[in-house]
A = this chain, B = another copy of it.
């Protein structure tokens, strides 16, 4: 019997290392799928429709909004980005744990539409470490680092609305911990309804044999 996968929503401050940890997780474990977003922005060279994004027209995207076909969406720089519910549902049905890497507001919206979704926030060991990681990239001006740290402070107000927090001190350890956490979700009662019904039915049959 194939268990339906879990919808995992991962958020974290810019610079905390979400991408690196997920890369390690996907390289070392099977059974995971990224969510693929729909967007109205045009494809960049090398981007494949259905792999990197679902590229759709503005009209189609607005129809998806009206038909409640998106788990969450947002617009940046005149383009829409959103998570198609059907794509996620299909992968979950196939037994994959689907990872959705989105920011806080989107995460909380997903939780409203999918109460079973598991919200995980990735934190740095300390704020100082986050600052050093952002500065250490060498690509950000002090002004940008300052802006991101301020943004992190604002986002941190939402931490209590997440189900789990995970600390990224070491990338591979964090990926292992994330894997254990996600696999444990398969044991949730609501993920095992069909097995529970099977056992209840069997117990009833055996009890009735004796009558």
Binding site for B on A (CB under 8 A): 120-121, 123-124, 126-128, 130-131, 146, 149-150, 152-153, 156-157, 159-160, 162-167, 177, 180-181, 183-184, 187-189, 192, 195-196, 198-200, 202-207, 210
Contacts and interface: CB of A to CB of B under 8 A. Distances in A.
- Copies of this chain present in the complex amount to 2
Contacts of A203: 127, 130, 149, 152-153, 156
A207 B153 contact: yes
A165 B192 CA distance: 8
7 smallest CB-CB distances across A and B, nearest first, come from A127-B202, A153-B203, A184-B184, A164-B187, A153-B207, A127-B203, A181-B184
A103 to B, nearest CB: 16
A183 B173 CA distance: 14
A165 B195 contact: yes
21 contacts: A120-B187, A121-B189, A126-B202, A127-B199, A130-B203, A149-B203, A149-B210, A150-B207, A153-B207, A156-B203, A159-B189, A159-B199, A160-B189, A160-B196, A162-B189, A163-B189, A164-B184, A165-B187, A165-B192, A180-B184, A181-B187
Contact of A206 (B149, B162, B183, B198): B149
A127 B206 contact: yes
Given A165-B189, A165-B192, A199 B126 contact: yes
Contacts of A196: 123, 156, 159-160, 165
A200 B159 CA distance: 9
Nearest to A129: B202
B189 A164 contact: yes
A16 to B, nearest CB: 11
Given A153-B206, A165-B196, 13 more contacts: A123-B195, A124-B199, A127-B199, A128-B202, A130-B203, A131-B206, A153-B200, A162-B189, A166-B187, A180-B180, A180-B183, A181-B184, A184-B184
